[in-house]
Structures are given as structure tokens and as C-alpha cells.
A = this chain, B = another copy of it.
Amino acid sequence: MATMHDVARLAQVSVSTVSYVLTGTRPISQATRNKVLAAMAQLEYQPNAMARGLASRRSRILGLLMPMDERGLGATETAFVTGAAAAASVAGYHLVLSPVGGGDLDDLRRLASQRMLDGVVLMEVQLADERVTVLQEAGVPLVLIGRTGDTSTLSYVDIDFDQTVREAVAHLVGLGHRRIVYVNHSAATLASGYGPALRTRDAFTAAMTGHGLEPVMIAAEDSAAGGRAALAAAFAQAPELTAVLAMNETAIFGILGELTGRGLSVPDDVSVVSMVTSPQVAELATPALTAMTSPGSALGRIAIEALTRHLDGPADLRHQQLLPCTLEIRGSTAQPRSRHPLGADQ
């Protein structure tokens, strides 16, 4: 492994000159630069990241902290990661993903305090999230995906749930649906303060009320069985429902199965819209699901851009931004059966 010393000796310049060629922090004549570059090439020189990091006090590594639960990463999260990695690369940083589990706050504290990471993007933020506190105390620059309850002091990027729900509801209402049930995450998830679940709940209530309709929400476990149970509950609460809006990517397969099981057809008897869903998952279902597609890759890019601006720029500016999901109409929504063809009230 060649070091800077070797390069300097071969190019007959001082070590610092080699460093300046590499970092561009001071002007270097073209002739010298060429000599140094040639020496580097000849020796296949690669700078040692540790030494660089120690001397400059920055690693040029960004961390993406993602809780890995057993559900896995959907296409949405993957798009997010690739978008983030690309943006980091453009800014001259490496991105590493760290699968931090839920419990190990100490582990997180260690990771953050060891100065290995110049900055961090934190995914799946809860309304009250201890991890944010730990990271802030450790003084690590931070961008959130999602929002804590108190959004005032931090940078974040998040989905505009309000807008997303409003658009989904508008699509269904526009088709003529009046009885729309919202299938959310589980009651436990709601109670734990999971932002997306709470925000969509409120947005749904607001959107339906805005249309003069009654909001009905069902909490469903994150499983196919949970979806089946939720649909049963939905029919119990609103027997005349004609549309289901679902936030729960796992439960939705149970909902579809149960619908078919009851001899109801999608979309002729019941329309289904899936929220915050990737095209890949939407296409798995038969019929393919009309869905609100999440802006995964843009979300990742924006988060990293905000973080690097935070690091390279001098200011401690905040970046707070919401991105809506976009409606993609596929085969699972249609006008309700002819009873209300033009959206007349029942």
C-alpha cells in the first residue's frame, strides 16, 4: 500500500504538496500537479480513509439509520436508499446503511460519539423518538425522514400525508363513492405514536368531513389476517361501503382476499386504493392496485442534500419539506355500482 510519502518522494515534492493536489485547498502549478498525478497513478496510490479522517476531523461518510424489522424493505424504502446513495455520491460522500435495532440506544450513542459518521439520516421517526435526543446530544448533524411531534428545531423531509389523503379521497369521491372506509395500521401502532398513522387518520377525517361525508376508520394488524379482520369490521360498521382506502401494505392483500371470498368484485363492487405504495407492490395484486405512489427516490435525495448542505455550508439552516404521493390509477378503482352513477348522495 503506497502512502503519500512514497508519492511525494517519487514526484520529488513535499508531502504537503501532494495533499494539496488531492484536496485542492491551495493553488498548485500545472507542472507540479502533473508530476504528482503521474506518481499516484504509477504507485496506484489510494488515500487511507482513517488517516484522512483523523487529520481532517471528517470522515466523508454519512449514515442512514434504518430500523430493520422482519417485514423487510419494500420497493419504496429501496428507492429511498438508492436516491440517497446517489445524492451522497454526487456530494462526494459515501453512504452506509446501519441496521440499528430498536432497543440498542447505547449502541446508537456509541456509533454517534465515535465520530465515524459526519452526519446521519434517521428513518421511521416516531412522534416522540429517543433516538433523536441521543443523536442531538452527541452533536451529530441530523436529518429526519418523518417528523417528531415538535418539528421546530430539526431538519426533516416527510410525505405530505394531508395532501396525499386528500387526493386519494378526491379520486374516490370523484368516481361517485360516498361510503369510504379507511384501513389504517394497528391500534398498537397508533397508540405508539407512529406519525404516518396518526397524520393520515386526521387527514382522512378532515378530507371526508370536507366532502360532507362521514369518516370511518378501522385499525388493522400488519398481516393478511389483519386485513381480513379489518374488512369484516368495516362491513359491520358501514355495510353499504363501496370503497376502501388502505395504508397498510400487508393488510391490503388480506382485504383483497376477503373481498373475493365474500363474492365481491374489485373494482365493480368495491374500489380499493392503496396509500404510500410502490408500483411494484401495486402490480402484484389482481387487479393491479390504484395507489398513491410515494416519492421514495426524491425523498432520499432531498434528505441527503439537506444534510450535506448542513455540513459543507456554514449556516445551521433547517430544511423542512413535505412531498406528496402521486395518484396512479390502475385497475382497482371504478365508479360504484349503478345505484349512484353520478355521485348523487344515497
B-facing residues in A247-293 (Cβ within 8 Å):
250, 253-254, 256-257, 260-261, 278, 280, 283-286, 288
A159 close to B (CB within 8 Å): no
Check A72 against B253 for contact (C-beta < 8 Å). Answer: no
Q: Name the interface size band of chain A.
A: 35 or more
A158 close to B (CB within 8 Å): no
Closest Cβ–Cβ distance, residue A87 to chain B (whole Å): 12
A111 close to B (CB within 8 Å): yes
Complex interface: chain B residues within 8 A of A219 (CB)? none
Of all chain B residues, the one with the shortest Cβ separation from A61 is B116
Closest Cβ–Cβ distance, residue A334 to chain B (whole Å): 18
**Assembly CA distance A51 to B116 (angstroms):** 10
**Assembly CA distance A93 to B280 (angstroms):** 35
Complex interface: chain B residues within 8 A of A225 (CB)? 283
Complex interface: chain B residues within 8 A of A260 (CB)? 286
Render A94-106 as a binary contact track against B, CB cut-off 8 A, 1 for contact: 1111110100000
A136 close to B (CB within 8 Å): no
Check A224 against B50 for contact (C-beta < 8 Å). Answer: no
* Given A71-B75, A72-B280, A257-B286, CB of A85 within 8 Å of CB of B99: yes
Render A1-13 as a binary contact track against B, CB cut-off 8 A, 1 for contact: 1000000000000
Check B54 against A253 for contact (C-beta < 8 Å). Answer: no
Task: Contacts A54-B54, A73-B78, A96-B97 known; list 13 others, CB within 8 Å.
Answer: A47-B114, A48-B114, A48-B115, A49-B115, A50-B116, A68-B78, A70-B280, A71-B78, A73-B73, A82-B101, A223-B283, A224-B283, A261-B286
A interface residues, Cβ below 8 angstroms from B? 1, 46-51, 53-54, 59, 61, 63, 68-79, 81-82, 85, 89, 94-99, 101, 107, 110-111, 113-116, 223-225, 250, 253-254, 256-257, 260-261, 278, 280, 283-286, 288
